[in-house]
Copies of this chain bind each other. A is one copy, B any other.
Amino acid sequence: MKLSLLQTHGLKILLTIIKSGKETLTASEISKIEGLKTGYVGKILFMLRKAGIVSTIRGKTGGYFLADDKKNITLYDVLTALSPNKNEIELCPNIKEGENCTHSIDCAIRPVFYEAHKFFKHLASNITLEEMANREKDIMSKVKEIKNHYFKEKV
């Protein structure tokens, strides 16, 4: 249950773009605001572009901007894009996508992580960048609301 620094930086970069109000932002501008190296910001934005989260304009007057409306990009999208094993936030290392667990007989760990991950995915998929650009307090009530609704439906 860990948010990596890379993911944190990625989120902050995206929030910086949103909060700037500008059409596009360069890696260099972001790096100054966030206190990160330009190359590092560029690398993260490159990963986010490959995931379809930001779009770019190359060359002079170039820069980065959200590929979609901030309402449509979720926390889960961003975390997945910046997860080292790319396709999915990892569950049990014994479970590859589409495969059965090779330890299915004695792997008692899977159901626990399956349930926990399902909830986390649901939570993170229902938080948008727009909402994250607002303050904690607003998010906190939104989180509670999602949780309550989730439990009402699934239980």
Contact = CB atoms under 8 A, between A and B. Distances in A.
B109 A3 contact: yes
Contact of A93 (B3, B123, B147): B3
Given A116-B120, A119-B119, A8 B109 contact: yes
Given A3-B93, A75-B109, A115-B143, 15 more contacts: A3-B109, A8-B109, A11-B109, A105-B135, A106-B135, A108-B136, A112-B127, A112-B139, A116-B119, A116-B123, A116-B124, A120-B120, A148-B155, A151-B151, A152-B155
Number of copies: 2
Interface of A: 1-5, 8, 11-12, 15, 75, 89-94, 104-113, 115-117, 119-121, 123-124, 127, 131-136, 139-140, 143-144, 147-148, 150-152, 154-155
